[in-house]
A and B are shown apart, each in its own frame.
Chain A
Amino acid sequence: MLRNNETEQPSGVLLKLMAFSVALGVLPLSSYYGSLHYLWEGNTIYSAITAVVAANVVLVSYIITATLEEGKASKAGSPSETRKER
């Protein structure tokens, strides 16, 4: 049975997961401090809201990436089954 996690791209999934983990850690904090100094001029509430929005943007992009990858995987899986039928 073709397992797309193993044979086609063994490191693609892992790279994506590592990128998202780093983004989830780095983006909220950096957006908090960056918007505190450069965008909102010391208003901590708006900076905290910016950090929360950044974290949720990472989450939404992860959901979209996972959904798109599953759509690609199911399309790639069906031709291999017809090869078996031959």
Chain B
Amino acid sequence: MSQCPPFAPFFGFAGVASAMVFSTVGAAFGTSKSGIGIAGLGQFKPELIMKSLIPVVMSGIIAVYGLVVSVLIAGSLSTKYSLFAGFVHLGAGLACGFTGLAAGYAIGHVGDACVRAYVHESKIFVGMVLILIFAEVLGLYGLIIALIMNTKVAQASEFC
């Protein structure tokens, strides 16, 4: 079996797609779940809406992480493509995608509950931002691993 079979780019493209798709699913869940809480908060205290949109912005950043990894992987795809590179790219895409899914899930639940509590107690704002930051670095860890894995492709690139 050769090092560069013709089905190798399948795994590379699957990595690109999974990084974008799964992190977007996480970001969508985070946006929608915290949006429900913001709609509840907006009925009672509309002046707090700008501050309570922070979970939504953080969910957007999770999607940006997936976008950056997709662009990064897609930049090193080519027709001369070894199976090793395909597996590396698939692993990188899955790492970023599923950690983005986890981060978006956490941001959604935390954003919803904390935004609803912010109506009654304004001191919960700092706690909410801290918890959201911890939830967002989960996605950042996946991005770091994807970056590290992507360097392996650059090192071993001349098989075919």
> Chain A interface (Cβ within 8 Å of chain B)?
3-6, 13, 16-17, 20-21, 24-25, 28-29, 32, 44-45, 48-49, 51-52, 55-56, 58-59, 62-63, 65-67, 69-70, 73-74, 77
Contact = CB atoms under 8 A, between A and B. Distances in A.
A45 B97 CA distance: 18
A24 B61 contact: yes
A52 B57 contact: no
The SS class assigned to the A binding surface is: helix
B47 A52 contact: no
A19 B60 CA distance: 14
B77 interface: no
Nearest to A5: B46
The SS class assigned to the B binding surface is: helix
A59 B72 contact: no
Contacts of B46: 3, 5-6
Size range of the chain B interface in the assembly: 20 to 34
B67 interface: yes
Contacts of A25: 64
A74 B50 CA distance: 13
A3 B154 CA distance: 57
Contacts of A5: 46-47, 49
Nearest to A28: B64
Contacts of B54: 62-63, 66
B68 A20 contact: no
A74 to B, nearest CB: 8
Of B46, B48, B64, most A-chain CB atoms within 10 Å: B64
Contacts of B69: 48
B51 interface: yes
B71 interface: yes
